[in-house]
């Protein structure tokens, strides 16, 4: 999609990883000068990288006031989860209809892996496997545009989703939901797959309260932007 020079592209990837994996947290300031010396390039590619990231929404830049890792309002968070649920549901629906047999096998294997990790209660390892599970479904929808779109929203929500898994019981529940989705997809029940995925991803009711309660201060903007 957005291909800039080689240096800038590298920076985009590195910064993106740092943001998605939580090394850089929402609200962190991204100073052009520091970044440029840290990576040993001039400010130009740094600016281009920030520009690209701003386009995908991972960072926010205010004119003449610099750029920070995007932090969102509570309203934004709710809205984005609402859209995320729909996008993932669509992926699941299409995957149930279109996924090749070999990919279903792969998905089954990943489901098993999640099962194992879930028992060991290693939240971070489970998170990895969980990401893989979902990505195989994204790919299974056979709509690369939808796949990109979904991944983009997921990346933007990553800092907040990550928090959820550290809650006791969440991993086990998540894994149980995977089983249902897996079954629906492997039997080709598109609507059921969509419905289950929607429920799996949506954050509503008490789950929303729980999430908001554990979001560290600074991850969310005050109402006055």
The contact set with DNA (CB under 7 A) reads 3-8, 29-33, 41-45, 47-48, 61, 63-67
DSSP 8-state class, residue 58: S
Residue 52 touches which of DNA, its own copies, none (CB < 5 to 8 A by kind)? its own copies
Q: Which of 10, 18, 57, 188 binds its own copies (CB under 8 A)?
A: 57
Residue 80 as a binder of its own copies (CB under 8 A): the answer is yes
Residue 36 as a binder of its own copies (CB under 8 A): the answer is no
Strands (E), 16-116: 29-30, 59-62, 66-69
Residue 191 as a binder of its own copies (CB under 8 A): the answer is no
Q: Which of 60, 107, 123, 196 binds its own copies (CB under 8 A)?
A: 60
Query: 66: which strand partners?
Result: 62
Closest separation between CB of residue 205 and its own copies, Å?
17
3 state DSSP class of 32: helix
Number of residues that this document lists for the chain: 225
Q: Are 52 and 8 in contact (CB under 8 A)?
A: yes
Q: Which of 11, 20, 48, 88 binds its own copies (CB under 8 A)?
A: 48
Query: 72: which strand partners?
Result: 220
Please give the Cα distance from 8 to 28 (Å, whole number).
20
Q: What is the DSSP string of 131-197?
A: HHHHHHHHHHT--HHHHHHHHHHHHHHHHHHHHHTTSTTHHHHHHHHHHHHHHHHHTT-HHHHHHHH
Residue 55 touches which of its own copies, DNA, none (CB < 5 to 8 A by kind)? its own copies
Taking residues 141 to 180 in sequence order and writing x for each that binds its own copies by CB under 8 A, - otherwise, the string is --xxxx--x---x---------------------------
Residue 144 touches which of DNA, its own copies, none (CB < 5 to 8 A by kind)? its own copies
Chain positions contacting its own copies, by CB under 8 A: 1-6, 9, 47-48, 51-52, 54-57, 60-63, 76, 79-80, 82-83, 86, 90, 143-146, 149, 153
């Amino acid at each position: 999609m957005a291909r800039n020079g080689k240096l800038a592209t590298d920076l985009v990837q590195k910064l993106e990883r740092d943001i998605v994996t939580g090394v850089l947290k929402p609200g962190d300031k991204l100073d052009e000068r520091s970044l440029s010396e840290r990576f040993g390039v001039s400010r130009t590619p740094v600016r281009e990288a920030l520009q690209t990231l701003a386009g995908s929404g991972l960072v926010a830049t205010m004119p003449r006031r610099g750029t920070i890792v995007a932090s969102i309002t509570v309203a934004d968070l709710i809205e984005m989860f609402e859209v995320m649920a729909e996008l993932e549901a669509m992926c699941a629906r299409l995957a149930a209809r279109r996924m090749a047999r070999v990919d279903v096998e792969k998905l089954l294997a990943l489901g098993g892996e999640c099962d194992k990790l879930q028992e060991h209660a290693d939240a971070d390892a489970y998170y990895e496997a969980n990401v893989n599970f979902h990505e195989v479904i994204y790919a299974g929808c056979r709509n690369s545009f939808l796949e990109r779109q979904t991944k983009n929203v997921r990346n933007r929500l990553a800092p907040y989703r990550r928090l959820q898994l550290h809650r006791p019981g969440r991993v086990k529940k998540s894994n149980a939901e995977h089983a249902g989705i897996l079954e629906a997809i492997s039997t080709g029940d598109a609507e059921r797959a969509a419905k289950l995925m929607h429920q799996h991803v949506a954050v509503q009711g008490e789950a929303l309260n729980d999430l908001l309660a554990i979001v560290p201060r600074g991850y969310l903007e005050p109402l006055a932007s």
